[in-house]
């Protein structure tokens, strides 16, 4: 006999959870009461601000639409790419050689293209103004040491081990051929990329002069890996919004909703079904918040939930394992900077950009969003020689 709940039970269940339920009705009342409050929706690549009272949404895009993002990230990824080659050989795959030759040719082509004028005139990122010559040096250096490593392992594949990768490329010690470890190149390129993203996003957010005490925030959909960015501590957009608000955004008003419907930016820009779209997000936010607020009223007198926004540990030379992202307190703290690189690779909860994001956001906030005053880890105090 096929089981189904008795209709009387099903009706009682639907009274609270159904489409026309008590809870849904309370959420709709909250939507009406907050219709004039700004609603900020963040996706993996865009920010959309619904100002409220029927005003048209405003859109700011970041990451893949960012000038210079592909260029710097291409070099950032070389360290990981070399590790993949070692992994392929370790697993007995002969395909690594073809990929090594491809990376070698592409690195040479990038060096021929990269120059101070290219970064200044063709890429033209405001946050990097005055840094273009040094960025060209960074790219030239990163590609050259990668080419040297690739040439070595192609000539003698027995060198393509993780031990040699670390000793000759990622973290060499007192090696005149690789005076700056490639680990530092990864930190620098990630930091420069995020400096531009954070500078544009925080400038855009502050330009709208929102009442942050009323802002309703939803972080929707996937951002990076499907398992990443699901908490305040692992999603750098949370920290960025908090700093953009001058630390006035109430963390309880920021909801991370990975299963919420995604945003089609082209449809928004075309003005298609904007009211229905906005109302859907407002209902989602309000229904979630109403339930959370009821908990405080129902269980008053018991310990209350308080969102955590600062839980980062400080590490030292004796630290062997980490459960959370360590706090980078100084741009020249290589131990922490590279430990953060390892953590974002090993911890599926982390966005890869988390390796440098918090420090860059804090520096921008402390210096009135002036990127020229930010000390960039792995870059500002480093010298990248032009190798022969």
Task: Give one word for 302, left, alpha or beta, with left for phi > 0 and alpha for psi -120 to 50.
Answer: beta
Q: Is the predicted pLDDT of residue 62 greater than 80, yes or no?
A: no
Q: Tell me what the pLDDT averaged over the chain comes to.
A: 92
Q: Is the predicted pLDDT of residue 114 greater than 70, yes or no?
A: yes
Beta strands in 184-323 (DSSP E): 216-220, 254-257
Q: Give SS3 for 216.
A: strand
Could you give the CA distance from residue 135 to residue 297 in angstroms, rounded to a whole number?
Answer: 55
Res 64: pLDDT: 55
Chain position carrying tokens 């370790």: 90
Per-residue pLDDT band at 155 (split at 50, 70, 90): very high
Could you give the CA distance from residue 49 to residue 205 in angstroms, rounded to a whole number?
Answer: 9
Q: Which of 101-105, 142-146, 219-223, 334-338 has the lowest mean pLDDT?
A: 219-223
List, for residues 362-382, the tens digit of each pLDDT value: 999 999 999 999 999 999 999
Q: What is the DSSP letter of 66?
A: S
Q: Are 341 and 355 in contact (CB under 8 A)?
A: yes
List, for residues 165-197, the tens digit of each pLDDT value: 999 999 999 899 999 999 999 999 999 999 999
Per-residue pLDDT band at 129 (split at 50, 70, 90): very high
Could you give the CA distance from residue 38 to residue 30 in angstroms, rounded to a whole number?
Answer: 14
Q: Is the predicted pLDDT of residue 222 greater than 80, yes or no?
A: no
List, for residues 64-87, the tens digit of each pLDDT value: 567 899 999 999 999 999 999 999
Q: Is the predicted pLDDT of residue 359 greater than 90, yes or no?
A: yes
Could you give the CA distance from residue 287 to residue 283 in angstroms, rounded to a whole number?
Answer: 6
Taken in order 312, 41, 257, 198, the sign of the CA dihedral is negative
Res 270: pLDDT: 79
Q: Is the predicted pLDDT of residue 323 greater than 90, yes or no?
A: no
Q: Which of 21-30, 242-251, 264-273 has the lowest mean pLDDT?
A: 264-273
Could you give the CA distance from residue 164 to residue 162 in angstroms, rounded to a whole number?
Answer: 5
CA 78, 80, 86: angle at the middle one, nearest 5?
A: 105
Beta strands in 188-319 (DSSP E): 216-220, 254-257
Nearest Cα to Cα of residue 85 among 184, 169, 178: 169
List, for residues 252-311, the tens digit of each pLDDT value: 999 999 888 777 788 888 777 888 889 999 999 999 999 899 999 999 999 998 887 766
Q: Two tokens at 303?
A: 């310990």
């Amino acid at each position: 006999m096929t089981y189904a709940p008795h209709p009387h039970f099903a009706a009682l269940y639907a009274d609270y959870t159904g489409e026309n339920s008590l809870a849904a009705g309370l959420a709709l009342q909250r939507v009406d009461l907050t219709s004039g409050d700004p609603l900020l929706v963040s996706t993996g690549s865009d920010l959309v601000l619904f100002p409220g009272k029927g005003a048209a949404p405003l859109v700011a895009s970041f990451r893949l639409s960012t000038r210079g993002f592909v260029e710097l990230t291409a070099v950032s990824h070389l360290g990981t790419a070399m590790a993949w080659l070692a992994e392929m050989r370790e697993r007995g795959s002969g395909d690594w050689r073809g990929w090594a030759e491809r990376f070698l040719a592409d690195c040479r082509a990038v060096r021929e293209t990269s120059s101070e004028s290219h970064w200044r005139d063709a890429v033209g990122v405001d946050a990097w103004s005055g840094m273009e010559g040094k960025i060209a040096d960074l790219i030239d250096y990163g590609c050259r040491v990668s080419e040297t490593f690739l040439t070595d392992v192609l000539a003698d594949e027995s060198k393509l081990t993780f031990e040699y990768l670390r000793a000759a490329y990622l973290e060499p010690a007192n090696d005149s051929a690789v005076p700056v470890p490639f680990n530092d190149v990864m930190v620098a390129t990630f930091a420069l990329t995020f400096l531009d993203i954070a500078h544009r996003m925080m400038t855009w957010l502050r330009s709208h002069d929102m009442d942050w005490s009323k802002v309703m925030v939803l972080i929707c959909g996937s951002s990076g890996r499907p398992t990443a960015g699901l908490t305040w501590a692992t999603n750098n957009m949370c920290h960025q919004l908090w700093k953009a608000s001058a630390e006035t955004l109430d963390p309880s008003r920021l909801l991370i909703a990975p299963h919420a419907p995604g945003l089609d930016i082209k449809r928004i820009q075309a003005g298609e079904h904007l009211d229905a779209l906005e109302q859907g997000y407002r209902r989602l936010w309000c229904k979630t918040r109403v339930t959370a607020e009821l908990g405080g009223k129902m269980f008053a007198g018991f310990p209350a939930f308080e969102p955590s926004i600062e839980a980062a540990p400080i590490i030292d030379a004796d630290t062997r394992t980490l459960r959370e992202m360590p706090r980078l307190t100084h741009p020249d703290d290589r131990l922490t900077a590279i430990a953060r690189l390892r953590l974002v690779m090993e911890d599926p909860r982390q966005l890869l950009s988390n390796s440098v994001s918090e420090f860059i956001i804090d520096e921008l906030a402390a210096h009135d969003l002036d990127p020229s005053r930010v000390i960039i880890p792995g870059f500002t105090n480093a010298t990248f020689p032009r190798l022969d």
